[in-house]
C-alpha cells in the first residue's frame, strides 16, 4: 500500500508541474480557447457547492470534474439536469454509469452535455437590424468514461469525449480526453482528488460560413475560403481535498443522523488565472440536504446555494436537487437535477 501511495504522489506532482508549466506558457491566450462552454459547471449537487467537487464527486454527475467519480457507485447510476443560464442560454445533462462486475473494480459511464443559446437574429453590414433569419449557437459534448478501483482507497478514471460547436453555418468538432483520480489518505478522513480535463488537439472552425463571395476572383465558384486560426481547448487542472467533518464514518465527530462535508478545490485553466472554490454539504439521515459554495478569484460567479432530498427505497434511491448561483452583474441562474440509483 505504501508503494502505491508513493507512486501516486509522484504521479500527481509530475502532472501538476507539467500542467502548470504548460498553463503558464499559455497565459497570453486568456479567453481565446475554443469550446469555452466546456468549463461550465454541471451537476446540481456540485454547483450548489461552488464546484468544489474533484475530491468529493460520486457517480455519473461527477464525471466532468473527475472521471474516477463513477468508481463509487454500487450498481447503476443515472442523472439528468437542466440549467437556466444567463442570457436565455440553457444546457442539459444526461448520464448513466454501471458497475461491471461483482468485485466492484471496473465501471463505465456515458455523459451527454448539450447547450443552446436560443434564437438570435442574423445581421449583416447591409442589414444591421436583421435579415429576418435567425440562428442558434449550440454545443455538444459526449463523454465515455472508464474507472477502476485499484484498492479500497484509490480510484482512477479516464474519459474520451467528442466535442462539437456550431454557430450558424460554421462549425468545429474535435476529440479530447480527461484523466482523474481519487485517493482516501486514511489520515483524519481526508480525501484527495485530482483531474486534468480537455486534453486534445487544437480545434479549427470550418463550414459554409468560412467562405466569402469575391465577384472578381479567378475562382470559377466566385468564392474564397477564409483561413481560420486553430484554438486550443480549455485544458483545466483541478486539485482538491474533502473531509466528512461530521458523520457516521467521520474520524473527527461521529454521528449517525448528521453529516457535514467540506471540500476545497484549486482550479487552473490554461486561458484564465488560478482560482479556488470551497463548498459545504449538510445531510440529515442522507435524506435532506443543504449546500453552500464560495468562489475565490473568479471574475463572475461569487456564491451558490443548494438543497435537495432523497428517497431511499428497497433496491433504489431517487434524489431531487436544486442549485442557485449568483453571477453578480450577470444576474443569477437556477439548476434542477434528478438522480437515481438502482
Look at residue 213 and tell me whether its pLDDT is greater than 70: no
| pTM exceeding 0.85 | yes
Domain boundaries, the chain: 2-341
Top pLDDT among 74 and 212 is at: 74
Look at residue 269 and tell me whether its pLDDT is greater than 60: yes
Percent of the chain with pLDDT over 90: 63
234 confidence band (pLDDT: 50, 70, 90): very high
Average pLDDT over residues 88-112: 95
37 confidence band (pLDDT: 50, 70, 90): very high
Provide the grid cell at 73. Answer: 457507485
> What pLDDT does residue 25 have?
45
> What pLDDT does residue 219 have?
53
Average pLDDT over residues 50-58: 95
The pLDDT tens digits of the residues spanning 296-324 come to 988 788 899 999 999 988 888 999 999 99
Top pLDDT among 192 and 102 is at: 192
CB 67 within 8 A of CB 178: yes
243 confidence band (pLDDT: 50, 70, 90): very high
Average pLDDT over residues 54-66: 96
Helix H, strand E, coil C: the string for the chain is CHHHHHHHHHHHHHHHHHHHHHHHHCHHHCCCCCCHHHHCCCCHHHHHCCCCCCCCCCCHHHCCCCHHHHHHCCCEEEEEEEEECHHHCEEEEEEEEEECCCCCCEEEEEEEEEEECCCEECCCCCCCCCCCCEECEEEEEEEEEEEEECCCCEEEEEEEEEEEEEECCEEEEEEEEEEEEEEECCCCCEEEEEEEEEECCCECCEEHHHEEECCCCCCCCCEEECCCCCECCCCEEEEEEEEEEEECCCCCEECCCEEEEEEEEEEEECCCCCEEEEEEEEEECCCEEEEEEEEECCCCCCEEEEEEEEEEECCEEEEEEEEEEECHHHCEEEEEEEEEEC
CB 170 within 8 A of CB 34: no
CB 263 within 8 A of CB 240: yes
Nearest to 162 by CA among 178, 146, 181: 178
Please give the Cα distance from 191 to 55 (Å, whole number).
6
Please give the Cα distance from 192 to 196 (Å, whole number).
14
Top pLDDT among 131 and 23 is at: 131
In degrees rounded to 5, what are phi and psi of residue 36? -65, -20
Q: For 2-341, which CATH class? A: mainly beta
Percent of the chain with pLDDT over 70: 85
Please give the Cα distance from 43 to 37 (Å, whole number).
15
Residues facing 319 on adjacent strands: 310, 339
Q: How many CA atoms lie within 13 A of 181 on its CB side?
A: 19
> What pLDDT does residue 134 have?
87
> What pLDDT does residue 226 have?
60
Amino acid at each position: 500500500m505504501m508503494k502505491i501511495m508513493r507512486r501516486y504522489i509522484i504521479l500527481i506532482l509530475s502532472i501538476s508541474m507539467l500542467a502548470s508549466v504548460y498553463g503558464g506558457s499559455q497565459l497570453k491566450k486568456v479567453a481565446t480557447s475554443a469550446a469555452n462552454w466546456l468549463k461550465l459547471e454541471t451537476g446540481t449537487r456540485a454547483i450548489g457547492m461552488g464546484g468544489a467537487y474533484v475530491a468529493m464527486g460520486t457517480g455519473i454527475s461527477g464525471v466532468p470534474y473527475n472521471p474516477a467519480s463513477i468508481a463509487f457507485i454500487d450498481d447503476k447510476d443515472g442523472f439528468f439536469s437542466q440549467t437556466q443560464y444567463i442570457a436565455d442560454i440553457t444546457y442539459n445533462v444526461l448520464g448513466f454509469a454501471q458497475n461491471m462486475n461483482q468485485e466492484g473494480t471496473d465501471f463505465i459511464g456515458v455523459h451527454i452535455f448539450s447547450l443552446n443559446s436560443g434564437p438570435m437574429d442574423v445581421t449583416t453590414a447591409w442589414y444591421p437590424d436583421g435579415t429576418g433569419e435567425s440562428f442558434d449557437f449550440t454545443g455538444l459534448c459526449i463523454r465515455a468514461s472508464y474507472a477502476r478501483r485499484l484498492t479500497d482507497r484509490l480510484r482512477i478514471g479516464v474519459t474520451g469525449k467528442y466535442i462539437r460547436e456550431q454557430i450558424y453555418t460554421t462549425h468545429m468538432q474535435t476529440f479530447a480526453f480527461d484523466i482523474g483520480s481519487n485517493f482516501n489518505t486514511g489520515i483524519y478522513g481526508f480525501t484527495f482528488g485530482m483531474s486534468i480535463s480537455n486534453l486534445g488537439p487544437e480545434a479549427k472552425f470550418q463550414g459554409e460560413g468560412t467562405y466569402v463571395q469575391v465577384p472578381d476572383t479567378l475562382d470559377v465558384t466566385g468564392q474564397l475560403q477564409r483561413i481560420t486560426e486553430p484554438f486550443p481547448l480549455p485544458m483545466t487542472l483541478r486539485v482538491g481535498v474533502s473531509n466528512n467533518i461530521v458523520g457516521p464514518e467521520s474520524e473527527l465527530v461521529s454521528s449517525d443522523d448528521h453529516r457535514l462535508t467540506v471540500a476545497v478545490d484549486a482550479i487552473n485553466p490554461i486561458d484564465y488565472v488560478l482560482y479556488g472554490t470551497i463548498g459545504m454539504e449538510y445531510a440529515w439521515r442522507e435524506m435532506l440536504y443543504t449546500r453552500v459554495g464560495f468562489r475565490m478569484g473568479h471574475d463572475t460567479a461569487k456564491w451558490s446555494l443548494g438543497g435537495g432530498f432523497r428517497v431511499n427505497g428497497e433496491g433504489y434511491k431517487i434524489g431531487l436537487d436544486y442549485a442557485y448561483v449568483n453571477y453578480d452583474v450577470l444576474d443569477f441562474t437556477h439548476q434542477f437535477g434528478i438522480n437515481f440509483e438502482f
